[in-house]
Amino acid sequence: RTKLDDYLMFSPAAGAFLLEATGVKGKHNMKDKFIIYGSSLALMTLTVTVLKNITQQLRPDGSKYNSFPSGHTATAFMSAEFLSSEYGFRSPWYRVAGYSLAGGTGVLRMYNNKHWFADVVAGAGIGILCTKFNYWVFNKIDKKKNRRASVKY
């Protein structure tokens, strides 16, 4: 048993913010990154919490009825997609690193007997989709804001 998965899930996002802090520019500025990451985290947390309450699946270790989906894995893949979206254009290795850390989180959740394989796969999908959705919304709002700002009165 290990608690590494409790910290590993945030490492891809920490990497994205660390890259920005050290001068490596991503697609968005720091303020916009916080908005996108925060809204992705909120949507993912809401989605995972609602599904856990609806499904009431027993964990493999028999400890609780909140196994499906894996929140740790959802967070890890949400963070990996965030890193990939911000820095994947700079190098494919940022994507490889983020998704490797996220995959490791999912494996550790199963190794620690906290989740079934289906819990981990669902968590991964939820994390990725929540981040992609929030980038899509943010970009739509940003384009409208920029169009209004360029209109001369």
Task: Return the DSSP state at 115.
Answer: -
Token output for 1: 């048993």
pLDDT band at 145; cut points 50, 70, 90: confident
DSSP notation for 40-108? HHHHHHHHHHHHHHHH-PPPTTSS-S--SS-HHHHHHHHHHHHHHHHHTTT-HHHHHHHHHHHHHHHHH
Record the pTM.
0.94
| pLDDT of 153 strictly over 70 | no
- pLDDT tens per residue across span 72-84: 999 999 999 999 9
Q: Are 30 and 86 in contact (CB under 8 A)?
A: no
| pLDDT of 17 strictly over 60 | yes
Give me the pLDDT at residue 34, please.
96
Q: How far apart are CA 57 and CA 126, in angstroms?
A: 17
Mean pLDDT of 117-126: 98
